[in-house]
Structure 1
Amino acid sequence: MGLEKILSITGKPGLYELKTQTRGGFLAESLLDGKKIAVSARENVSMLSEIAIYTYTEEIPLREVFTKIGEKESYQEAISHKSPKEELISYFNEILPEYDEDRVYPSDIKKVVQWYNLLIKNDINDFSEPATAEEE
């Protein structure tokens, strides 16, 4: 499973796997505890495959940031998202030295590290682009 079915829902902790569409939204399963929830179409939902991190020259897709962390950590867990702010910033600087410090906040870094670790715990470590119909 790739990042296309992994969601972040504003106001809800952790990440969710998209399970199925419903009339008024969709059904999602928490990667934290496995509980299924109904999500209304009005809620603010982001697919991880659509999120990017600002750098000074461009926006880097989150999948590429996860790949860089994975390569550094041999696709094992990274540092804890509960580490001190300075430690998280230093770690992120190693992963993505060109990130825009004015637009990427420590809270964003914390979230990226937390999401990476949650994905790894759930054996989701394929961060590559999905194959398009033309490539298959």
Structure 2
Amino acid sequence: MSFQKILAISGKPGLYELKVQTRSGFVAESLLDGKKITVGLRSNVSLLSEIAVFTYNEEVKLIDIFKSIATKENGEATISHKETDDKLKSYFREILPEYDEDRVYTSDIKKIFNWYNILQPKGYVTLDALNAEVKEETAE
């Protein structure tokens, strides 16, 4: 289970796992309902492993934020992305105290919590899996 194959596709809800590449794009499977979709090369796609969050000093990789959440929650689900903006921001400040409030929007924070809660029951954000993922990235 690697973040290298987990995708966020603009305009599509949830997260997807990359299954196979085709001539005109690729096939991805939804982590929400298991349905497979074809995605064209023109679609705006982001790999979770490449996403980072702005802080005042540097950019922090999404996997490190997931690791902080998993540590705080002992590997369990976190708060819902549907909580109030103030509650989401204060919780996020506990996870990443130095995040740049001018460049990280509430919608970004909601996505992070939503993605974490999608990945958690699938076993992607357990402490063991995240530690292995971080070791794999630092070895590259």
Q: Which range, TM-score by smaller chain?
A: over 0.9
Residues 3 and 49 of structure 1 are in contact (CA less than 8 Å); yes or no, is this contact kept in structure 2? yes
After TM superposition, what 4+ stretches of structure 1 lie above 3 angstroms from structure 2? none
TM-score (norm 2): 0.92
What is the Cα-based RMSD across aligned positions, in Å?
A: 1.4
Distance (Å, rounded) in 2 between the aligned partners of 1:95 and 1:111: 15
* Aligned equivalent of 1:63: 63
Q: Secondary structure at the match of 1:111?
A: helix
Residue identity in the other structure for 2:134: E
- Percent identity between the aligned chains? 58
* Aligned equivalent of 2:84: 84
TM-score (norm 1): 0.94
Distance (Å, rounded) in 2 between the aligned partners of 1:28 and 1:58: 32
**1:129 deviation in Å?**
2.8
* Aligned equivalent of 1:50: 50
Residues matched between the structures, number: 134
Distance (Å, rounded) in 1 between the aligned partners of 2:71 and 2:136: 21
The structure in which a higher percent of residues are helix is 2
Distance (Å, rounded) in 2 between the aligned partners of 1:67 and 1:82: 21
**1:124 deviation in Å?**
1.2
* Aligned equivalent of 1:129: 134
Distance (Å, rounded) in 2 between the aligned partners of 1:129 and 1:24: 32
Distance (Å, rounded) in 2 between the aligned partners of 1:64 and 1:129: 8
Measured against aligned partners, the alpha-carbon deviations of 1:26-71 in whole angstroms (never above 9, x if no partner) come to 0000001000000001100000000000000000000000000000
1:1-136 to 2 correspondence within 5 Å?
1-125=1-125, 126-127=129-130, 128-129=133-134, 131=136
**1:123 deviation in Å?**
1.7
Q: Secondary structure at the match of 1:131?
A: helix
CA distance 1:67–1:11, shift in 2 (3 Å): same
Structure 2 residues not aligned, in runs of 5+: none
